[in-house]
A and B are shown apart, each in its own frame.
Chain A
Amino acid sequence: MAKNLSMRDALRAALHEEMIRDERVFIMGEEVGRWQGTHKVTRGFYEEFGADRVRDTPISEMAIAGVAVGAAMAGLRPVAEMMTINFAFLAFDAIINHAAKIPYMFNGQFQVPLVIRAATGWGNQATATHSHTPEPIWAHFPGLYVGSPSNAYDAKGMLKAAIRDDNPILFTEVIALYPKPSAIPDEEYLIPIGKADIKHSGDDVTIVSYGRGVEWSLEAAEILAKEDIQAEVVDMRWLRPLDIATVLESFRKTNRCVVVEESLPHYSFGSEIAAQLQEAAFDYMDAPVKRVSALDVPLPFAKELEMMALPNTQKVVQAVREVL
């Protein structure tokens, strides 16, 4: 049996199941408790689990991340929420210099079983400081895993796996995807960390994406199918560990690749995929790898400008035509 759940409710179910399963799992963040969560992912948790396990914090991103790191080192399994990834920049040091480095720097004496959840992505004219999709920046650093689901089904299984993992993990959730539903089985399932997923099969071109880009890629694949162009859509799910093997397998079949990312083009997810493809599969390459990214500008307020700057389904379709 299965039921349709929005990504918001699928994430909520994942958290709920893990908190029931393991008493060391607790939630901390701004407005996660009494307010029911800014994005309502923790709705009802404060009433059910109490203030010790659903901890409202001050507006203190450095401490939200840093205190969670300390608690994780000491043996708890915190799920810390950054209201949005934009605010996580304030916690960069705690996440990168501490969460990601402590296991290594002290030669394995400490583990940091921490999940930092953060809402990500643009939309609704949130403007330059509130419209980041900066997953690739975080994925730059060894020691941290970075995941970003593209749909409710994946979100549930990925988050549960993340909470059970002993490494620090940044888990970003695209705000625009929160209301979108998937069929969620009643039975428990986990989606392994670092495993990509073929969301649509095809032989003509490989479209690699993650997060919201998967939606545009799948829509593009439908449009292209009508022109008898068969696109294979690879949803990476995780930027670290990066399942490049799945991309390579697809690329050796299609010999063409378009990378779709909601984020910026410089030093990006697309740059990394393109670099790794040319290193590992140059002989299979029939066209340059094409990137569909946001334009290299800060996101403005005016709706028309925002839309101009951002990728969309049509841009993906166009990019595929250019590599064929």
Chain B
Amino acid sequence: MATKTRSLTKETLIAWYREMVLVRKFEDKCHYLYFEEKDPARKITGVYLHLCSGSEATHVGAVKALGVDDHVITAYRDHGIAIARGTDPKRVMAEMMGKRTGTSGGKGGSMHLADRERNFWGGYAIVGGQFPLAAGIALKENYLKTSNAVLCFVGDGAMNNGYFHEAVNMAAVWKLPVVWLVENNLVGMGTRIEESSGQVNPLKRADSYGIKAGPSVDGQNIIEVYEAVTAELDYAREHGPVLMEARTYRYEGHGVSDKQFDARADLKEELATWESRDPINILRDHLLAEYKNLDREFAAIDSETTQIVDEAVEYAVSSPTPTFDDLMAHIYV
């Protein structure tokens, strides 16, 4: 563990642990409601559902590094980021079920969560679509001469999209306060990074844009992620964009409905290796090594998070579906 961990209190680490467990249970519940739930009134339907199980340390750790006036934006794998930013899991689950009480009123679905009040600018389902938006949000901060910064999640696969080149370059020219955090889970949908990228080290691309290559951190270690993103956000406030990397993994394939691990035996083998470095277990082991008598706390976290997820499901199930008026609303201001 990094030497700076002393500055993180036990309470903080426990809170993060609790949140990672919550995100994992939320995702497990989504998986259940999508595949196994028989009652149509309780099912999650639709073609798309992208779970972040396995990536909790990267998602929660990076979001925790943000100040209240900082911003975060991401792609479609957005459940954990919304929850980490403080969005009520009830409203997130309601969005999963297309309910009126969802974060996007049931019109966005799981890929389009957002919470304007918390400067969570959304999940975006067009790969790379969030990159120029991140630069644009940063441009506003730059224009108004604030010290707020933008955290933009970047999939390793999305780095090959033209948006990445154009947005990172423009942010570089204008020295916009963006941390481009490459969430490197080694595979874009079903294509591995070395099959899709001439340069497999994401950080080496920073040089071609004349921006800082930040660190490559262990994305399974929330403390490492938090400390690195905190430092790079501070750099970005002063000097402009940074490209950094968190090496992580996702357990459930690109979308839950795909058969990534059936189609590719090599990925399945790799999955087992990554599961042995589970981000929740890593923090748990750290806590157990540092502090005594946590059994009761862990048990409480287990039951509390189960309850939060169960309540979220009940809230979503009992929420009204959107109406014709909702269908026609917000096309224009």
Hey, which bits of chain A sit against chain B, CB under 8 A? 26, 52, 55, 57-58, 60-63, 65-76, 78, 93-94, 97-98, 102-111, 142-143, 145, 165-167
Give B117's nearest chain A residue, CB to CB: A109
- Tell me the smallest distance from the CB of B148 to a CB of chain A, in Å: 10
B117-135 Cβ-contact flags toward A at 8 Å (1 or 0) = 0000110101001011111
Give A76's nearest chain B residue, CB to CB: B140
Q: Give the docked Cα–Cα distance between A110 and B71 (Å).
A: 14
Q: Are A62 and B331 in contact (CB under 8 A)?
A: no
A58 partner residues in chain B, CB cutoff 8 A: 166, 169-170, 173
* Residue of A52, A108, A111 ringed by the most chain B CB atoms within 10 A: A108
Give A193's nearest chain B residue, CB to CB: B332
A98 partner residues in chain B, CB cutoff 8 A: 124, 126, 129, 133
- Known A58-B173, A62-B162, A63-B163; contact A107-B136, beta-carbon cutoff 8 A: no
B131 partner residues in chain A, CB cutoff 8 A: 66
Hey, which bits of chain B sit against chain A, CB under 8 A? 103-108, 112, 114-116, 121-122, 124, 126, 129, 131-141, 143, 162-163, 165-167, 169-170, 173-174, 326, 329-333
Q: Are B167 and A66 in contact (CB under 8 A)?
A: yes
Give B105's nearest chain A residue, CB to CB: A107
Which listed residue (A60, A97, A109) contacts B166, Cβ 8 A?
A60
Q: Are A70 and B166 in contact (CB under 8 A)?
A: no
B163 partner residues in chain A, CB cutoff 8 A: 62-63, 66
Q: Are A66 and B132 in contact (CB under 8 A)?
A: yes
Known: A66-B131, A103-B331. 13 other contacts (CB 8 A): A60-B165, A62-B166, A65-B132, A67-B133, A94-B132, A98-B126, A98-B133, A105-B107, A107-B330, A108-B105, A108-B330, A110-B114, A143-B332
- Known A52-B143, A104-B107; contact A69-B133, beta-carbon cutoff 8 A: yes
- Known A73-B121, A105-B104, A110-B116; contact A63-B133, beta-carbon cutoff 8 A: no
* Residue of B112, B121, B136, B167 ringed by the most chain A CB atoms within 10 A: B136
B121 partner residues in chain A, CB cutoff 8 A: 70, 73, 110
- Tell me the smallest distance from the CB of A141 to a CB of chain B, in Å: 10
Q: Give the docked Cα–Cα distance between A118 and B53 (Å).
A: 44
Which listed residue (B105, B139, B174) contacts A70, Cβ 8 A?
B139
Give A51's nearest chain B residue, CB to CB: B174
Which listed residue (A73, A74, A108) contacts B329, Cβ 8 A?
A108
* Residue of A60, A72, A142 ringed by the most chain B CB atoms within 10 A: A60
Give A60's nearest chain B residue, CB to CB: B166
- Tell me the smallest distance from the CB of B94 to a CB of chain A, in Å: 12
- 7 CB contacts below 8 A, A to B, read A62-B167, A63-B132, A67-B170, A70-B140, A71-B139, A71-B143, A145-B332
Q: Give the docked Cα–Cα distance between A29 and B139 (Å).
A: 14
- Known A58-B169, A107-B105; contact A70-B133, beta-carbon cutoff 8 A: yes
B115 partner residues in chain A, CB cutoff 8 A: 109
A78 partner residues in chain B, CB cutoff 8 A: 136
- Tell me the smallest distance from the CB of A246 to a CB of chain B, in Å: 20
Q: Give the docked Cα–Cα distance between A142 and B333 (Å).
A: 12
Give B112's nearest chain A residue, CB to CB: A105
- Known A67-B132, A106-B104; contact A73-B167, beta-carbon cutoff 8 A: no
Q: Give the docked Cα–Cα distance between A72 and B143 (Å).
A: 12
Q: Give the docked Cα–Cα distance between A107 and B135 (Å).
A: 22
- Tell me the smallest distance from the CB of B125 to a CB of chain A, in Å: 9
A26 partner residues in chain B, CB cutoff 8 A: 143
Q: Are A70 and B104 in contact (CB under 8 A)?
A: no
B140 partner residues in chain A, CB cutoff 8 A: 70-71, 74-76
